[in-house]
Amino acid sequence: MKLKITAILLLIFVSHKSFGQASDEQYRNIVYDIKGDLNKDGLADKVVVRENAEDSKHPYLLEIFFKNVDGSYKKVLRSTKAVTPKFPAGGEISDVNLENLEIKNGLLIFTNQLIRGNYVHKFRFQNGNFELIGFTENNASAGYIEYVDYNLSTGVKINKHIDYQTDKVLMYKKSIDKMKSLPKLQDFEALEYVY
């Protein structure tokens, strides 16, 4: 009896372990493989985004590796939520696509293309996490371009509308909207952090 239970538990463990490995292996297409210093140690860290083209939504896997002094890398973040899938509803049409990913001045910057604009999320490694410190959106509306620039670190948020034809500022509003805690990349879903 004990042998049967042990065999069943072993089979469940092996099946579960194999299933978990197979799912990561489905993220085969490398979309981004960029390097830059993210933790201010002078070493070129690495960010990799891979796509699962076998899934109808084409989800992405984001991995961040800090470089060690000996040249090896340590994985510090893994997320399948941080980058919006290529086709969130399945099919072949998407309202949002990852247009660019870059490391600039220690920031990890995601630029997402919209049908009529784009938005940018900026993360900085601080307090032991990658925290969202900046958000920018440009969006074409009826008769004007809508612009939002939100510095989450300071809480300063600027909203303005600019006329297409004249470049005249139709609306300008500056406010302070300080968050108690900044969103963290490991919990981040791009479509949920639009301001």
User: Do the beta carbons of residue 175 and residue 194 sit within 8 Å?
Assistant: no
Band of residue 194 on the pLDDT scale cut at 50, 70, 90:
low
DSSP letters spanning 73-130: EEEEEEESSSS--SSTTSTT--SEEEEEEEEETTEEEEEEEETTEEEEEEEEEETTEE
- In angstroms, the Cα distances linking 21 to 14, 16, 26, 28, 72 are 11, 9, 9, 13, 22
User: What sign does the CA torsion over 133, 46, 187, 110 have?
Assistant: positive
Query: Encoding tokens for residue 175?
Result: 């406010």
Per cent of the chain over pLDDT 90 is: 70
Residue range of the domain that includes 139: 2-192
The pTM score is 0.84
Band of residue 88 on the pLDDT scale cut at 50, 70, 90:
confident
| Residue bearing the bigger pLDDT, 159 or 58 | 159
What is the domain count for the chain? 1
Contacts of 18 (CB under 8 A, 6+ apart): none
Strand partners, 3: none
Contacts of 184 (CB under 8 A, 6+ apart): 129, 130, 131, 132
Query: Encoding tokens for residue 133?
Result: 């410190």
Closest CA to 146 of 119, 181, 128: 119
> Mind listing the pLDDT tens digit for each residue in 142-177?
899 999 999 999 999 999 999 989 999 999 999 999
